[in-house]
Structure 1
Amino acid sequence: MKSGTPTYDCDNCGTTHKRTFVPIDHDCYCALFFIIDNLHRASVEACNALEFGDTQKAQ
Protein backbone atom coordinates (compact mmCIF):
# COMPACT_ATOMS: atom_id res chain seq x y z
CA MET A 1 0.00 0.00 0.00
CA LYS A 2 1.22 3.50 -0.77
CA SER A 3 2.38 5.57 2.20
CA GLY A 4 0.43 8.68 1.26
CA THR A 5 -3.18 7.68 0.75
CA PRO A 6 -5.13 10.62 -0.72
CA THR A 7 -7.91 11.88 1.50
CA TYR A 8 -10.68 14.44 1.27
CA ASP A 9 -12.79 16.27 3.81
CA CYS A 10 -16.44 15.25 3.80
CA ASP A 11 -18.95 18.07 4.15
CA ASN A 12 -21.73 15.60 4.93
CA CYS A 13 -20.30 14.07 8.10
CA GLY A 14 -17.33 16.33 8.85
CA THR A 15 -14.67 13.62 8.73
CA THR A 16 -11.73 12.98 6.45
CA HIS A 17 -12.14 9.93 4.22
CA LYS A 18 -9.40 7.94 2.57
CA ARG A 19 -9.85 8.08 -1.17
CA THR A 20 -9.73 4.32 -1.76
CA PHE A 21 -11.69 4.81 -4.96
CA VAL A 22 -13.00 7.88 -6.74
CA PRO A 23 -16.60 8.43 -5.62
CA ILE A 24 -19.04 8.89 -8.49
CA ASP A 25 -21.75 10.19 -6.18
CA HIS A 26 -20.27 11.75 -3.05
CA ASP A 27 -23.46 11.34 -1.03
CA CYS A 28 -23.65 7.63 -1.84
CA TYR A 29 -19.97 7.16 -1.07
CA CYS A 30 -20.31 8.98 2.24
CA ALA A 31 -23.33 6.90 3.24
CA LEU A 32 -21.54 3.69 2.28
CA PHE A 33 -18.43 4.73 4.21
CA PHE A 34 -20.59 5.60 7.22
CA ILE A 35 -22.41 2.23 7.13
CA ILE A 36 -19.19 0.25 6.76
CA ASP A 37 -17.54 2.22 9.57
CA ASN A 38 -20.52 1.62 11.88
CA LEU A 39 -20.68 -2.09 11.01
CA HIS A 40 -16.97 -2.40 11.77
CA ARG A 41 -17.36 -0.57 15.07
CA ALA A 42 -20.40 -2.68 16.01
CA SER A 43 -18.54 -5.92 15.26
CA VAL A 44 -15.54 -4.78 17.30
CA GLU A 45 -17.82 -3.87 20.22
CA ALA A 46 -19.61 -7.22 19.98
CA CYS A 47 -16.24 -8.96 19.94
CA ASN A 48 -15.10 -7.03 23.02
CA ALA A 49 -18.40 -7.76 24.75
CA LEU A 50 -17.90 -11.50 24.21
CA GLU A 51 -14.32 -11.23 25.38
CA PHE A 52 -15.26 -9.52 28.63
CA GLY A 53 -18.49 -11.45 29.13
CA ASP A 54 -20.67 -8.35 28.85
CA THR A 55 -23.87 -9.74 27.30
CA GLN A 56 -25.82 -6.46 27.50
CA LYS A 57 -23.41 -4.60 25.21
CA ALA A 58 -23.57 -7.27 22.51
CA GLN A 59 -27.33 -6.95 22.12
Structure 2
Amino acid sequence: MQVDFGQEGYFNLYVNGALQEGKLYHVNSDALTIISTGQTIYKGTPIIVSVKLAWAVI
Protein backbone atom coordinates (compact mmCIF):
# COMPACT_ATOMS: atom_id res chain seq x y z
CA MET A 1 0.00 0.00 0.00
CA GLN A 2 1.29 3.45 -0.86
CA VAL A 3 0.19 6.41 1.24
CA ASP A 4 0.98 9.88 -0.11
CA PHE A 5 -2.01 12.20 -0.24
CA GLY A 6 -0.04 15.43 0.02
CA GLN A 7 -2.29 18.46 0.48
CA GLU A 8 -5.31 16.71 -1.04
CA GLY A 9 -6.12 14.18 1.66
CA TYR A 10 -6.07 13.33 5.33
CA PHE A 11 -6.81 10.61 7.87
CA ASN A 12 -9.21 10.42 10.79
CA LEU A 13 -8.70 7.87 13.55
CA TYR A 14 -11.60 6.56 15.63
CA VAL A 15 -11.04 4.43 18.73
CA ASN A 16 -14.23 2.87 20.09
CA GLY A 17 -16.22 5.35 17.99
CA ALA A 18 -14.47 8.46 19.33
CA LEU A 19 -12.56 10.71 16.91
CA GLN A 20 -8.95 11.09 18.06
CA GLU A 21 -6.86 14.28 17.88
CA GLY A 22 -4.32 14.30 15.06
CA LYS A 23 -1.43 14.71 17.49
CA LEU A 24 -2.25 11.31 19.07
CA TYR A 25 -1.37 9.16 16.05
CA HIS A 26 0.77 8.84 12.94
CA VAL A 27 -0.05 6.98 9.73
CA ASN A 28 2.38 5.96 7.01
CA SER A 29 2.51 3.26 4.34
CA ASP A 30 3.74 0.66 6.84
CA ALA A 31 1.97 1.35 10.12
CA LEU A 32 -0.53 3.12 12.30
CA THR A 33 1.17 4.36 15.47
CA ILE A 34 -0.98 5.49 18.39
CA ILE A 35 0.85 7.75 20.85
CA SER A 36 0.59 6.53 24.44
CA THR A 37 -1.57 8.65 26.74
CA GLY A 38 -1.50 6.23 29.67
CA GLN A 39 -4.92 4.81 28.80
CA THR A 40 -5.53 1.20 27.79
CA ILE A 41 -6.96 0.07 24.47
CA TYR A 42 -8.38 -3.37 25.15
CA LYS A 43 -8.33 -6.31 22.76
CA GLY A 44 -11.41 -6.16 20.55
CA THR A 45 -11.76 -2.36 20.75
CA PRO A 46 -12.80 -1.06 17.31
CA ILE A 47 -10.09 1.04 15.65
CA ILE A 48 -11.07 2.69 12.36
CA VAL A 49 -8.83 4.73 10.06
CA SER A 50 -10.87 6.88 7.69
CA VAL A 51 -9.07 8.16 4.59
CA LYS A 52 -10.37 11.36 2.97
CA LEU A 53 -9.30 12.39 -0.53
CA ALA A 54 -10.22 15.58 -2.35
CA TRP A 55 -9.26 16.99 -5.70
CA ALA A 56 -10.66 19.21 -8.41
CA VAL A 57 -10.31 19.10 -12.16
CA ILE A 58 -10.78 22.48 -13.83
TM-score, scaled relative to structure 2: 0.26
Higher alpha-carbon Rg: 1
Structure with a larger share of its residues in helix: 1
Structure with a larger share of its residues in strand: 2
Instruction: Report which structure shows greater RCO (CA 8 Å, sep ≥6).
Output: 2
TM-score, scaled relative to structure 1: 0.25
